[in-house]
Structure formats: C-alpha cells, structure tokens
C-alpha cells in the first residue's frame, strides 16, 4: 500500500470569470499521511479547494503543489491517478456490479484480470463487504452505507497516495455515519493516505482531522489541530462550533 505525499496550497485565490472571488489567499499544508478536515458554511469554498488540488480547476493566483510539483506542471492524467475521490452520492455505475465498480480504475488502467480480481477482494474485505455476498449485486441492491463503502473501496482501488473526500458520509443517517467514520479512521490508521475531507459536521472534522481548517467566505480563518480550533476565541469560529 502506498502512503501519502504532501499537498501545499500556497496563497491561492480563485474566482469564476465575472464573479466575486470564491477563495482569497488561502494557504494550507497537508503533511504526508495526515488528514486535513475542511469545515465552514455552505458556499465558503471548501469543495473548490478539492477541485484545485486535483486540477479540475486552476488557481487565479497562487499555486497548489502536490508532492512538491505545481498542479499545472503535472501531466493531468498522472495527477488524477495519484488521487482518489469520494463524493456524497458516490456516483456508482448502476449497471455495473459492485465488484466491477470497485475494479473500475484498475480495469481502465489495464491491470491483468487476476490482479484486479485480487485487489477487488482485498478492498471489499477492507471496507466490510464480503466478496462472496456482495460482488455480484447491483448498487441499487445496497443500503446507503454499503454504497458509500463501495465508493471508498473504488477510490482506493489503484492505491493512490492521496484521497479527496467531499461530504463522503453526508447523505447517511447519524448512526451509519458514525460507523463509517469510525471504520474510515481504522482504514486510515493502516493506509496513511494524505487526505483532505470536506464536511459541514464539526464532530466529524474533530474526529477525523489531524488538522481542522475553518473556511469562511473564501478565507481560511482558522487552521490547526482540533484542540486549538476548539479553543479558538475568533467569534466566527465560535459561532460555527
């Protein structure tokens, strides 16, 4: 398994043409093997940071470094292959089986069938979906929590050093959400990916984040270990807490 590399967001501003700025001089480092949890109100710019890291977007000013290299200097496909992406509604292919969904990226990358098969079994076990029971099911034959587990397994399939997660557990009921969060923390303790997770749930940010970053109107108004954020006396942070 490949552990993570470093991400540096350096004085990054971003705006869509003809609109107000979405991000304003944001600087944040994510050390290898750690989790940065981004929190803040809707529209604060959290998802935009994820899109800048995997180069769906490029900064208007400043730069984003992945393993020390500007995202603009990475061959686009190679950068994407370094980065697993998990989103709220998963985006599983409904006509593909669970196993085919999990094995999608290795298959696209031309892995031999046997290696993909071994990897799919390994990942399904990792996320608590026994292969013999779940491999041939369609996504709509799963619960929301099980679908989200498939999403995590799929993102990890090609063993990328980086993982970007956008409200990955957001659509789930509180109990399932807590289960998945705990399971993810266990997986991360072994895999040590470099992770950026976006959440509007402060408890989730504190539970998972090595570092918690609070975004407000496109500015990073606080960033540090959970205990430091909890103790912040910034009224905007307190309000959010």
Nearest in space to 196 (alpha carbons), one of 162, 173, 224: 162
Binding mask 39-78 for ligand ADP (x = CB under 6 A): -x-xxxxxxx------------------------------
- 89 lies in the binding site for ligand ADP (CB under 6 A): no
Distance CA 4, CA 203 (A): 24
- Smaller CB separation from ligand ADP, 47 or 82: 47
- Smaller CB separation from ligand ADP, 49 or 191: 49
Number of H helices, E strands in the chain: 11, 10
φ, ψ for residue 55, nearest 5 deg: 65, 25
Torsion over CA of 195, 197, 202 and 205, rounded to 10 degrees?
A: -10
To the nearest whole angstrom, how small is the minimum distance from the Cβ of residue 231 to ligand ADP? Answer: 24
Buried b / exposed e along 22-55 (16+ C-beta atoms within 10 A): bbbebebebeebbbbbbbbeeebbbbbbbebbbb
- Total residues contacting ligand ADP (rule CB under 6 A)? 12
Binding mask 184-223 for ligand ADP (x = CB under 6 A): --------------x-------------------------
- Among 1, 2, 16, 203, interactor with ligand ADP by CB under 6 A: 16
User: Residues in the site for ligand ADP, rule: CB under 6 A?
Assistant: 16, 19, 22, 40, 42-48, 198
């Amino acid at each position: 398994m490949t552990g993570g590399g470093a991400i540096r967001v350096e004085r990054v501003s971003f705006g869509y043409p003809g609109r107000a700025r979405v991000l304003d001089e944001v600087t944040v480092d994510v050390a290898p093997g750690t989790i940065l949890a981004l929190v803040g109100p809707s529209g604060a710019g959290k998802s935009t940071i994820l899109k800048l890291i995997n180069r769906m977007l490029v900064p208007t000013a400043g730069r984003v470094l992945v393993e020390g290299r500007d995202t603009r200097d990475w061959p686009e496909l190679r950068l994407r292959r370094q980065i697993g992406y998990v989103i709220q509604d998963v985006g599983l292919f409904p006509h593909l089986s669970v196993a085919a969904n999990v094995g999608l990226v290795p298959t696209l990358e031309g892995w031999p069938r046997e290696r993909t098969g071994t990897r799919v079994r390994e990942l399904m076990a990792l996320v608590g979906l026994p292969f013999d029971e779940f491999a041939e099911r369609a996504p709509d034959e799963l619960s929301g929590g099980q679908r989200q587990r498939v999403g995590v397994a799929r993102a990890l399939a090609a063993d990328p050093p980086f993982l970007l997660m956008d409200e990955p557990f957001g659509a789930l009921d509180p109990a399932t959400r807590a289960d998945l969060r705990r399971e993810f923390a266990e997986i991360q303790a072994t895999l040590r990916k470099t992770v950026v997770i976006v959440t509007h749930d402060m408890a989730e940010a504190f539970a998972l984040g090595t570092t918690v970053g609070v975004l407000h109107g496109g500015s990073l108004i606080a960033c540090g270990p959970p205990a430091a954020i909890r103790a912040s006396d910034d009224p905007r942070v307190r309000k959010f807490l």
